[in-house]
Structure 1
Amino acid sequence: MGSPIEKPFETARQLLDYVSPLNEVWKNGKYVFRGQPSDEYKLTPSVCRNGKGSFGYDSPRRMLDKSSSGQIRFELDILKKFLDGCDRSGLIVPGYTEQIRDRLLSAQHTFMSGHLPWPQQEMHQIMAIAQHYEVPTRLLDWTDRSFVACYFAASSASFEIDFMGMPKIAVWALETTYAPFWKTLKIIRPPGGTSQNQAAQSGLFTAHHAKDYSVDDVYTPDALEDVQEIYDIRGGYTPLFKLTLPVSEAPELLDLCSKMGVDGSTLFPGFHGAAKMVKDWGNVEIGVRHSQSAIDDYNADSYDSDPDVY
């Protein structure tokens, strides 16, 4: 069974130097990147998570129907609800047509076809829009730009640092040269005009294609790092990296990203992005103070518990 290669880093600068496009380690492959606020999080799309705190966790449909078929029906219902809201608001959704609306409303569940995997291609743009507005889908966000992934890892981290717990943020790197040969995992690149955010972030997605779903089985959440085919079909490249950094370095990482022009204002065009940049700046200010306080507490505890530690 394959597994990602983990590389820990101690400082934000070390991580940025490593993920730089100028680093020779990236020159031969086609890597895409993803940032996450915790190295303990698996690469599982939001709608596929079924533990406590997941979307719809306590709803009757989630409690009573735990099959893979029920999972896909749940995803379709979420998208139908999103599109209904867009219709009510008079919003144009790229890729959304009258034909797709009729299929979604059909009692025959024509998107749940035995000979076509879910999600089907005509739904990709719609799902991309929903994803960018925080509607849970089975898409997983990635970017072609490693520094963008660093920004998202740092900006989504908790700045209330429990230094003793040694929490870490993570930046993932996935090699995609042989993605056309993958059967389970698919790369989805909607046109740049699908979303301003997607274009600004050089965004793309991965999705688990569900082919064998049934009302008689029990759905198991999909995690990208557990898909064996990415390790089997790799042509000599390292297929998956997991790069970690102490969360105490997240404020510095945010600051360095900002100095390189990667911040809320450039990744989220519009007033929302400008406001996000201010929020990130505030988190940097708070994070630096919490980080130093946590380090001081950690050093004091170490000195008190072991007189040989200075």
Structure 2
Amino acid sequence: MTIIWEASHGIETTIANSAADFIEALRPSNSHWWEGGQCPWVFRGHAREEWALLPSAWRPDNPIIRNCIAEASHRFEVVSPAQMLNWFWHPNFWSSSATFGDNDATLSKQLTIETTAEYLPLWDFAGACDELSMQVPLLGPGPDPIQDPHWLPDPAHPLVGDELLRFSDLPAALALAQHHGIPTRLLDWTRNPVVAAFFAVEPLREPVAGANLVVWALHNRRAKEVAVEGVSFPAAPHGAPRFDPEIAIVRPSTRDNPYLAAQAGLFTTVSRSGIYFMKSGGKRPALEAFVAEANPATIVLRKIALSHKHAADLIEILRRERVSRSALMPTMDNVARDVLTKWAQQEKLS
């Protein structure tokens, strides 16, 4: 099968004519995934083509984060911190504040509120696990809600407070929380494209006329070179570079996260996302929009689409190849979920 790609702004797209063609294009052994004896691509499935590559904590319709924002807003009003849009270098050097525009005060406040909202469910998860002696890959369970009921992450320095990946223990904790349904700023990917196809079709209960499911592919190495224009901080140390928002690849150890090992997973996010937030008027970037804005010289993303009318055929192919949620994450809950999914899809997708 010959695949015809259409390319624009670092993104290639194509559409498969059948479920068999779709799976054939996705096979890990297919030569278009390989370079120099290695496969640098990772994959992610979506049930609807129009869904953005936006992590759960950054989706405006996420009800958990919406409620956390309400709590974070209350905390901010109580604390009412003075804020500076500066940057920090170890061991103890601070720049002066950068200027982004006339709305800096409002946006810096909102940045602290939204960053706090991301932390709140993570600290609840970590604290509850710690109370039950369940291991979480953190140096501690997080701020004590009794001792510090109005905790905010570095409220005087919102750009630094938003930089979650500066802590060595947080990426693994975020990954674990993500795999247990906590909304985070991480977007999860798998090294197995057929697994991505399963996650694309699993949520479907009936085909939608004119709709496509998709598998996205991200070039793991080129992604690390994708950045958009950031900012230089006044009074920075001599030779300090401009700080550009860029794609970050997060590869935590699987030691504390067996689901991560089962899915051959890793994660992406945007580092220096607070700078992007301030420069874009308070927006968080979807990955495909971020790549298009950066307009890289090489292909960083690929998207393979399949019409919903072929979903039943795809489900049957995956069943024959024994790709299921319980095979990827073997628990009784997931066995039950596979059974329920099978019968939920029975009438419309069989």
TM-score by length of 1: 0.79
**2:219 pairs with 175, 180, 186, which one?**
175
8 Å CA contact 2:190, 2:263 repeated in 1: yes
| Alpha-carbon distance in structure 2 between the residues aligned to 1:110 and 1:32 | 34
Q: 1:2 to 1:62 in 2, by over 3 A?
A: farther
Question: Are positions 1:160 and 2:206 aligned together?
Answer: yes
Question: Are positions 1:118 and 2:179 aligned together?
Answer: no
Q: Deviations over 1:69-102 (max 9, x none)?
A: 3211111122112222223333211x2223x635
**2:58 pairs with 42, 48, 52, which one?**
48
Question: Are positions 1:75 and 2:118 aligned together?
Answer: yes
Q: State the shift of 1:188 in Å.
A: 0.9
8 Å CA contact 1:187, 1:205 repeated in 2: yes
| Pairing 1:178-257 to 2, within 5 Å after superposition | 178-182=222-226, 184-209=246-271, 210-212=273-275, 218-228=281-291, 236=298, 238-257=299-318
Q: State the shift of 1:113 in Å.
A: 7.0
**Gapped regions of structure 1 (runs ≥ 5):** 290-310
Q: 1:42 to 1:62 in 2, by over 3 A?
A: farther
| Alpha-carbon distance in structure 1 between the residues aligned to 2:177 and 2:220 | 24
Identical counterparts, % of pairs: 23
Question: Are positions 1:273 and 2:334 aligned together?
Answer: yes
Q: 1:248 to 1:215 in 2, by over 3 A?
A: closer
**Worse-matched range after superposition: 62-71 or 35-44:** 62-71
**1:138 pairs with 168, 182, 185, which one?**
185
Give the aligned length.
281
- Secondary structure of residue in 2 paired with 1:43: coil
- Secondary structure of residue in 2 paired with 1:262: coil
| Alpha-carbon distance in structure 2 between the residues aligned to 1:124 and 1:230 | 26
8 Å CA contact 2:225, 2:246 repeated in 1: no
| Alpha-carbon distance in structure 2 between the residues aligned to 1:214 and 1:202 | 31
| Alpha-carbon distance in structure 2 between the residues aligned to 1:216 and 1:61 | 25
**Worse-matched range after superposition: 36-45 or 262-271:** 262-271
Q: Deviations over 1:170-212 (max 9, x none)?
A: 1000111234444511111111222121111111111112243
Q: Deviations over 1:90-134 (max 9, x none)?
A: 3211x2223x63599874735977558323332011101110011
2:21 match: 14
Residue identity matched to 1:73:
T
Q: Which structure's residues are more often helix, by fraction? A: 1
Residue identity matched to 1:223:
A
Residue identity matched to 1:275:
A
8 Å CA contact 1:71, 1:219 repeated in 2: no
RMSD (Å) for aligned C-alpha atoms: 3.1
TM-score by length of 2: 0.70
**Worse-matched range after superposition: 19-28 or 59-68:** 59-68
Question: Are positions 1:101 and 2:142 aligned together?
Answer: yes
| Alpha-carbon distance in structure 2 between the residues aligned to 1:13 and 1:103 | 53
Q: 1:108 to 1:60 in 2, by over 3 A?
A: closer
Q: State the shift of 1:61 in Å.
A: 4.8
Q: State the shift of 1:32 in Å.
A: 0.3
**Worse-matched range after superposition: 5-14 or 209-218:** 209-218
The structure 1 segments of at least 4 consecutive aligned residues displaced by more than 6 Å after TM superposition are 62-66, 103-106, 213-217
Residue identity matched to 1:18:
A
Question: Are positions 1:89 and 2:132 aligned together?
Answer: yes
Q: 1:167 to 1:215 in 2, by over 3 A?
A: closer
8 Å CA contact 2:112, 2:152 repeated in 1: no
2:33 match: 26
**Gapped regions of structure 2 (runs ≥ 5):** 1-7, 75-105, 227-244
Q: 1:113 to 1:56 in 2, by over 3 A?
A: closer
| Alpha-carbon distance in structure 1 between the residues aligned to 2:278 and 2:302 | 36
| Alpha-carbon distance in structure 2 between the residues aligned to 1:167 and 1:214 | 32
Question: Are positions 1:35 and 2:35 aligned together?
Answer: no
| Alpha-carbon distance in structure 2 between the residues aligned to 1:216 and 1:3 | 22
